[in-house]
Each structure stands twice: as structure tokens, then as C-alpha cells.
Amino acid sequence: MLASLAVAGFLFTASPQATNPNSYLFHMQTGADGKVHLVGKRYQPQSGDLILFDDHNPVTAKIYSCCGTGRPLHAGIIFLKDDGSPAVLEAGTNAVMKVFVFDFHSRLKNFDGTILIRQLRTPLSVEREKALRDFAWGQEGKGYALGRAILHASPFRAREPVYTAPFGRTVLDRDRWICSELAVAAATSAGILNPATHPANLMLPRDLCYDERYDLSKMYESPALWSPRAKLDEVDGGVRVGPR
């Protein structure tokens, strides 16, 4: 099922021309005909939801392959601002070496590629929402951890089994961040993830999307395709954006 979702996701492209705040998620379900269909519902962003991006860049995909992982290629986490509007915390967006906070709707509508979202199963309490929000604002403008990112592609990367136990950890106060590391640390600050089982410096975007290496299924729903449109057409085993 995960492989099917991945294939469908990589054939789906979010429309950069979308100009409204409509937001929908599509899950794969097996119908009475025995075929897998995409079933959509309106999506209301909530604090702690994970967001995974893939612009299908072959160079970036090759770099991730050298790190022993794969698509998606970028990660972020959603939080709610004081006024209740959703925002996305990211590091290294569009290869710019810093941490950003984006408006959720404008960020997604302007992204040309596949977007997957994992919804938090249990909404955060007011106190935990505030902890996540405070963490996010505290990281904005910090640098990107290019050195640690390069290390992931080396034989000495902490993800190697021999290094995992002594070097795997979550640090909540870094001067520089990798995108997935930042998302994990943010989720940890809100009490969603346990640093003992989900060390931020060992987790890359695919680890936040699929439960192959680290299991997030108790905290998060399975990944779903995001679209600003209410209907997706299924075409030759993949999907495309349907009429609005």
C-alpha cells in the first residue's frame, strides 16, 4: 500500500495557479470492485501535522540515494500562529540556507510538485500548541546545517547502525538545522515524539513519511495527497488534478 501511495504521489502535481485557500487530502482506499481509489476530504491544518514535499528534482533524489534514503525530498511541520492561521516551519527551502516560517496556503499553492501530509491523530492541547509555536518562532532565521547534511552522504553518517546508539539524539536548541531534523525537534518540543525512539539527527524526510525505519503510526495518520481541488482524476495507475 505504501508503495502504491508513493507511485500515485509522484505522479500528482499540485497546481501552482491555485488562488484560494481550499485544502483537501486524498487517501487510498480499496473499493467494492477490488480496485484502489483516491478518496478525498476537506483538510483543516492543525498544529503538529507533518508536511512532505517532492519537486522531483533528479539531482536532489540522487543525493538522498547516497544518504541511503529516498523520496520525498523535503519536510516541514505545521503550527498555528497566535491568530489561529496555519504556518509551516521549514529549513533550506528552495536551497536557501536558512529557516523559514511560511503562510500555509500561499506556501502550498506556489509549490510545483507533490505534497503529502501526515495528520496528527490526537490534536495538541493549548499548552502543547503554544510550546510548538514558541519553538517555531525561536528558530526562524537560523541557518541551514549544510555540514551535517553532507555528513549524511558519508560512510560516517550517524544513521549507520554502528553509530546510531552513541550518536543518535534530539537537540532542541541548534544554531543550524536540516529540514527533517527541525521538524522532528519541533514535534518533540510539543511532546509528540519521544527523543529516545525518534532521534532528530537520524531522521530524514522519508522517515517522516513512511514507517519503514521509524514508526510514527501511533501519533500520525498515514500520508495523504494534498490538493487545493476537491477532485482528483485517476489516470493509468496515477492521479492528476481534476476539475475544481
Per-residue pLDDT tens over the stretch 153-205: 888 777 877 778 788 899 999 999 999 999 999 999 999 999 999 999 999 99
pLDDT for position 162: 74
Alpha helices (runs of H) in 12-125, residue ranges in sequence order: 58-66, 104-109
pTM value is 0.85
More confident position, 124 or 244: 124
Burial 182-218 (b: 16+ CB within 10 A, else e): bbbbbbbbbebbeeeebbbbbbbbbbbbbbeebebee
Closest CA to 91 of 161, 174, 192, 194: 174
